[in-house]
Amino acid sequence: MALTLYVGSKRYSSWSLRPYLALAQAGADFECKTILLDQPDTKAKIGDVNPAGKVPVLHDDRLVIWDSLAICEYVAELYPTAGLWPDDRVARAKARAISCEMHSSFASLRGAMPMDILSKKPGVGHTAEALADARRVQQIWREALDASGGPFLFGKFTIADAMFAPVTTRFTTYGVDMDAQCRAYVDAIAQLPAFRAWYADAEREPKSRE
């Protein structure tokens, strides 16, 4: 088995961060290859590894899997002892539900506050619609953290945390107001060794957006 994850620029690619964290937290032996976004050859390079024309994409020998959540699900099956979904059936159902909500919703937040983990832009993108999305995200976090006791949404790290990790960076970048419980969750994600490695790689990338 040879796992290769192709990701977009680590500074900007929220979708790529999710399966990267899942693989790293599972203890997978994988290679991560970055395709810088907004470059003249970006489209061609992505097309070489994914006919769908998007990153992230995971290659497992001849098997090609695209879409962040689909990759995370595959990793959970490859590494069942890693606990990427909660053991409890009820908690697992809730984890899947909020992961799918993150996957399919919050368009206003995504549009107004795109991921840029190296920047500080307090107050930028604080539209009414984006802040409504942010309140819903924090409601999800509080309910999960109240039930689990933290530090992650379901106690230990799961795919649900991988799905929400990019949002934690958005809240930091754009100075979204958070209570102490949500701030502690953001800090827990930021202190993950895998996230810190991702952040360090992002610092070495050329800036491609203003």
Q: Is there a contact between 160 and 97 (Cβ–Cβ < 8 Å)?
A: no
Whole-Å CA distances, 190 to 4, 94, 97, 128: 24, 23, 23, 27
Res 209: pLDDT: 55
Q: 89-194 is classed in which CATH architecture? A: Up-down Bundle (1.20)
pLDDT in tens, 2-14: 899 999 999 999 9
Alpha carbon distance 207, 210 (integer Å): 8
Judge contact between 85 and 96, C-beta under 8 A.
yes
Tokens of residue 99, six digits: 């992961």
Domain boundaries, the chain: 3-82, 89-194
The answer, yes or no, to whether residue 210 has pLDDT greater than 60, is no
| Per-residue pLDDT tens over the stretch 54-95 | 999 999 999 999 999 999 999 999 999 999 999 999 999 999
Each residue of 17-67: pLDDT tens digit? Answer: 999 999 999 999 999 999 999 999 999 999 999 999 999 999 999 999 999
3-82 CATH, one of 3.40.605.10, 3.40.30.10, 1.10.760.10, 1.20.58.100: 3.40.30.10
pTM: 0.96
Cβ–Cβ under 8 Å, residues 116 and 173: yes
d(CA 122, CA 44): 35
